[in-house]
C-alpha cells in the first residue's frame, strides 16, 4: 500500500470487539450498562465525600479525585464505541483518534499517580500517626494532585505530538474499540523507534515508579502492622488498607495484561479482553470496592439517600 502524499489522513477504522452483526445489540447493551454503572457509582462516591464533613480527610480527597478520573477515563473511549455500534459505523476521525490517545494517556497516568498518593497517605497514617495531620496537610494534598495533573498532561502532550508527526496510509484499520497508542503507532508508514522509546520511558516513569512507591509504602506498613501487639489493632490497621490494595492489584494486573497482550499481535482476543478489563471493568468496580467494607462511605451514602444511619 502506497503512503499518502499528505500524511494527515482524515479517518481511521475501529474494528471493535466483534464484527458479528447479531452480537452488536448485546455489546451495546452490555457496555452501556457498565458505563452507566461506572458513572453513577463514581458520582455517588464523589457526592458522598463532598457532602459529609467527616470525609474531608486526605484519604477521601484522593479517593474523590480517583473517582473523577475514572469517570473521565471511561468516557474517553466508551461513548464513541457505543455511537459506532448504534450507527453501524467503524469510522473515527483523525482528530478524534488523536484526542482519544491524549486523554487515554492522561487519565491512565493520573490513575497511577493517585493510587501512589493514596498509598503514601496510608503509610503516613499507620507508620507516623502522631505526625499525620502535620505531614498530610491540605496544601500538600492539593500540591500532589496538581503535580500529578501536570506530569500526566506533559507526557500525554509529548506522546500525542510524536504520533502527529507519523505518516499513515490512506486506509488504516485499528483492531480495537478505541485508538490505543501502541496499535496506532504500529500502523505508521515510517520508523517508530523514537515512539517506542518514549512509550517505554513513560511506562517506567508513570507506571513502574508509582508502583515501586506503592510497594515501598506497603512494605513499611506491613512491618508496622506486625509490630502491633493486639490482634484487634492489627485487623483495624489492615482493614484501612484492604480496599486500596484491591484497587491497586486490579489496576496494575489489568494494565500488565494490556502491556503483555499488545506485545503479542497475534493474540487479538486476549488484547481485547485485557483492554476491556483495564478501561471499563476496573473503573466500574472501584467505587464498589471502596464502599463495600467502608462504614464511613456507607454512612454518607445512607445520609444522602435519607436512610437512617444505625
Chain segment 152-201, per-residue pLDDT in tens = 999 999 999 999 999 887 668 888 899 999 889 988 888 899 999 999 99
Cell of 61: 480527597
* Predicted local distance difference test score (pLDDT) of residue 60: 94
Would the pLDDT of 15 be above 90? no
Residue 87: how many other CB atoms lie within 10 Å: 9
Answer whether 0.85 is exceeded by the pTM: yes
- Output phi, psi for 5, to 5 deg: -60, -35
273-300: average pLDDT: 86
Is the predicted pLDDT of residue 237 greater than 80, yes or no? no
Are the beta carbons of 188 and 168 closer than 8 angstroms? yes
Helix axes 24-51, 282-292, angle to 10 degrees: 40
Average pLDDT, the chain: 88
Rounded CA gap, 20 and 17, in Å?
Answer: 9
The pLDDT score that the predictor gives to residue 2 is 44
Banded pLDDT at 243 (limits 50, 70, 90): confident
Quote the CATH superfamily of domain 11-301: Rhodopsin 7-helix transmembrane proteins (1.20.1070.10)
Burial of 267 (0-12, 13-18, 19+ CB in 10 A): middle
Residue 145 has pLDDT above 60, yes or no: yes
Amino acid at each position: 500500500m502506497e503512503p499518502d502524499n499528505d500524511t494527515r489522513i482524515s479517518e481511521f477504522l475501529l474494528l471493535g470487539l466483534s464484527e458479528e452483526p447479531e452480537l452488536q445489540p448485546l455489546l451495546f447493551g452490555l457496555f452501556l450498562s457498565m458505563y452507566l454503572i461506572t458513572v453513577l457509582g463514581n458520582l455517588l462516591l464523589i457526592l458522598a465525600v463532598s457532602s459529609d464533613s467527616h470525609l474531608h480527610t486526605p484519604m477521601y480527597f484522593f479517593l474523590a479525585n480517583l473517582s473523577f478520573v475514572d469517570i473521565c477515563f471511561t468516557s474517553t473511549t466508551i461513548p464513541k464505541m457505543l455511537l459506532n455500534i448504534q450507527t453501524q459505523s467503524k469510522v473515527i476521525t483523525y482528530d478524534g483518534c488523536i484526542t482519544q490517545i491524549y486523554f487515554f494517556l492522561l487519565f491512565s497516568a493520573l490513575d497511577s499517580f493517585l493510587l501512589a498518593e493514596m498509598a503514601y497517605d496510608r503509610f503516613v497514617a499507620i507508620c507516623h500517626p502522631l505526625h499525620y495531620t502535620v505531614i498530610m496537610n491540605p496544601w500538600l494534598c492539593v500540591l500532589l494532585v496538581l503535580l500529578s495533573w501536570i506530569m500526566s498532561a506533559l507526557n500525554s502532550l509529548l506522546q500525542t505530538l510524536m504520533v502527529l508527526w507519523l505518516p499513515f496510509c490512506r486506509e488504516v484499520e485499528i483492531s480495537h474499540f478505541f485508538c490505543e497508542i501502541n496499535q496506532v503507532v504500529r500502523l505508521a508508514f515510517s520508523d517508530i523507534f523514537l515512539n517506542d522509546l518514549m512509550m517505554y520511558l513513560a511506562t517506567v516513569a508513570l507506571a513502574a515508579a508509582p508502583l515501586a512507591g506503592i510497594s515501598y509504602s506497603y512494605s513499611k506498613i506491613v512491618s508496622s502492622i506486625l509490630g502491633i501487639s493486639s490482634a484487634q489493632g492489627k485487623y483495624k490497621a489492615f482493614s484501612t488498607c484492604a480496599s486500596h490494595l484491591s484497587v491497586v492489584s486490579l489496576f496494575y494486573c489489568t494494565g500488565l495484561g494490556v502491556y503483555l497482550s499488545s506485545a503479542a499481535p497475534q493474540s487479538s482476543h486476549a488484547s481485547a479482553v485485557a483492554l476491556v478489563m483495564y478501561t471499563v471493568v476496573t473503573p466500574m468496580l472501584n467505587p464498589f470496592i471502596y464502599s463495600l467494607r467502608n462504614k464511613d462511605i456507607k454512612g454518607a451514602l445512607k445520609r444522602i439517600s435519607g436512610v437512617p444511619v444505625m
